[in-house]
Amino acid sequence: MTAGVKTIIYPVKDIAKAKALFTQLLGVEPYVDEPYYVGFKDAGQDVGLDPNGHAKGLTGPVPYWHVDDIKATLAALLGEGAEVLQEIQDVGNGRQVASVKDAEGNLYGLIQDPTG
């Protein structure tokens, strides 16, 4: 089960320029501002800038589906022919992420937040 797409990650080459652009576009300051990731919240949407995204195989913006069980969801997608781009990893505070590519070349991310 999903809670929908609530996060979009953009791979960027120049995080400072991308941060300035999204600050102007969204009209808010980032809630996370680190050399490895800049994150914005706007209208219920998380927008992330990843300066390492291209190295991870991201070729453009990637929608991240928020799921209840990342392991089961990943296994189901792999069963339908998806390929793992990023294995499940904890990115802090119990948040787990993974990403896949389907047979058409589309990229999908998965996020599971800790419960309770």
Residue predicted with more confidence, 4 or 63: 63
Q: How many CB atoms lie under 10 A from the CB of residue 44?
A: 7
CATH assignment at residue 26: 3.10.180.10
The percent of residues in the chain predicted with pLDDT above 70, rounded, is 98
Q: 3-class DSSP state for residue 62?
A: strand
Yes or no: say if 67 and 115 are a contact pair by the CB < 8 Å rule: no
pLDDT tens per residue, range 14-65: 999 999 999 999 999 999 999 999 999 998 899 999 999 999 888 899 999 9
116, pLDDT greater than 80 = no
The pLDDT > 90 percentage for the chain reads 84
Facing residues of 32 across strands?
Answer: 39
Domain of residue 74: give its range.
2-112
Say what the pTM is. 0.85
Question: How many structural domains is the chain composed of?
Answer: 1
Identify the pLDDT of residue 2: 82
Helices (H), 27-105: 70-79
Chain Cα centroid distance, residue 89: 12
Query: Which pLDDT value is given to residue 4?
Result: 87
